[in-house]
Amino acid sequence: MTRLHLHLLSDSTGETLENIAKAGIAQFENVEAIRHFWPMVRSDVHLDRIMEEISLNPGIVLFTLANSQLRRRLENRCRALGLPHVAPLDAVTDALSNILGQEARNRPGRKHILDEAYFARIEAIQFTIAHDDGVGHENWEEADIVLAGVSRASKTPTSIYLANRGYKTANIPLVPESPPPRNLYGLKHPMVVGLTISPERLVQVRRNRLLSLNQAPETAYVDIERVQEEVAFARRMFADNGWPVIDMTRRSIEEAAAAIINLFNERVLAE
pLDDT of residue 107: 52
**Percent share of the chain, pLDDT over 70:** 95
Domain boundaries defined on the chain: 2-112, 116-270
Higher pLDDT, 116 or 159: 159
pLDDT at 195 (0 to 100): 98
The mean pLDDT of 140-149, rounded to a whole number, is 98
192 is in an annotated binding site: no
92 is in an annotated binding site: no
> Residue 212 annotated as binding?
no
> Which pLDDT score is estimated for 116?
67
Whole-angstrom distance, CA of residue 114 vs CA of residue 124: 15
Instruction: For CA atoms 180, 181, 186, 192, give the dihedral sign.
Output: negative
- Give the C-alpha separation, 43 to 26, whole Å: 32
| pLDDT band for position 105 (cuts 50, 70, 90) | low
Give me the mean pLDDT over the 33-40 stretch.
88
Strands (E), the chain: 2-10, 31-38, 60-64, 85-86, 145-149, 169-173, 191-196, 245-247
Asked whether residue 68 is marked as a ligand-binding residue, the answer is no
> Quick one: pLDDT at residue 106?
60
For residue 113, the model assigns a pLDDT of 47
Q: Would you say residue 110 has pLDDT above 60? A: no
pLDDT for 49 equals 93
Confidence of residue 137 (pLDDT cuts 50, 70, 90): very high
| Residues contacting residue 1 through CB under 8 Å, at least 6 positions apart | 30, 31, 32
Percent of the chain past pLDDT 90, that is, above it, reads 63
pLDDT surpasses 70 at 244? yes
Q: Does the structure show a pLDDT above 50 at 202?
A: yes
The answer to whether residue 108 scores a pLDDT higher than 70 is: no
Report the 10 Å Cβ neighbour count for 48: 11
The response to whether 156 counts as a known ligand-binding position is: yes
* Spatial CB neighbours of 178, under 8 Å, sequence gap ≥ 6: none
Which CATH code of 3.40.50.620, 3.40.50.300, 3.40.50.2300, 1.10.40.30 fits the domain covering 2-112?
A: 3.40.50.2300
Half-sphere exposure of 47 (CA within 13 A, CB side): 22
| Residues near 142 by beta carbon (within 8 Å), at least 6 away in sequence | 127, 168, 189
| CB 235 within 8 Å of CB 245 | yes
Cβ burial, residue 11 (10 Å; 0-12/13-18/19+): buried
pLDDT the model gives residue 246: 97
Q: Is 152 annotated as a binding residue?
A: yes
Cα separation of 10 and 26, whole Å? Answer: 21
Mean pLDDT of 31-35: 88
What fold is seen in the domain 116-270? Rossmann fold (3.40.50)
Looking at the DSSP bridge assignments, the partners of residue 80 are none
Answer yes or no: is pLDDT of 17 > 90.
no
Per-residue pLDDT, averaged over 210-218, amounts to 83
Task: Tell me if 150 is assigned to a ligand binding site.
Answer: yes
